[in-house]
Amino acid sequence: MKNLATEGVEWEIPAVKTLKVDSSKRIRIPDAKPKQVFAYENHGDGTIILTEIKPPVSLKAHVTPERDKELLEIFKGCSLQEITPMSEEERRLAYAPNAEFDALEHYCASLPKRAPEED
């Protein structure tokens, strides 16, 4: 990866690899392993992001009779009846698109990255 230094700000210029879609809409990713799973995110502006999805980790090693007793003690007195469904307003706030947050996220992603500090 090459670096471009301009007036104290150093930008990384990543190596660009191009991929071609075949007639069956398949793309070969050279670094991908067989059965690897990716989340697909199309931004609609020509940008597509693939994010690797890690397989779930087994919790069997963490489930022991001692741990069960500890968790039962922690949750003693808790009841599922105390949990109520979200109101329509809470649901709207939790799941609706937030233009202000999206704009802030986009702005932060566009900021230049700092060069690593040398010791």
Structure confidence at residue 1 (pLDDT)? 52
pLDDT of residue 12: 79
The pLDDT of residue 2: 57
Residues 24-83 have pLDDT tens digits of 998 888 889 988 888 888 888 988 888 888 877 776 777 788 888 888 888 777 777 777
Q: Is 119 exposed, middle or buried (0-12, 13-18, 19+ CB in 10 A)?
A: exposed
Average pLDDT, integer, range 81-107: 82
Spatial neighbors of 113 by CB under 8 A, at least 6 apart, are 11, 12
Contact 38, 50 (CB under 8 A): yes
**How far is the C-alpha of 97 from the C-alpha of 101, rounded, in Å?**
9
pLDDT band for position 119 (cuts 50, 70, 90): low
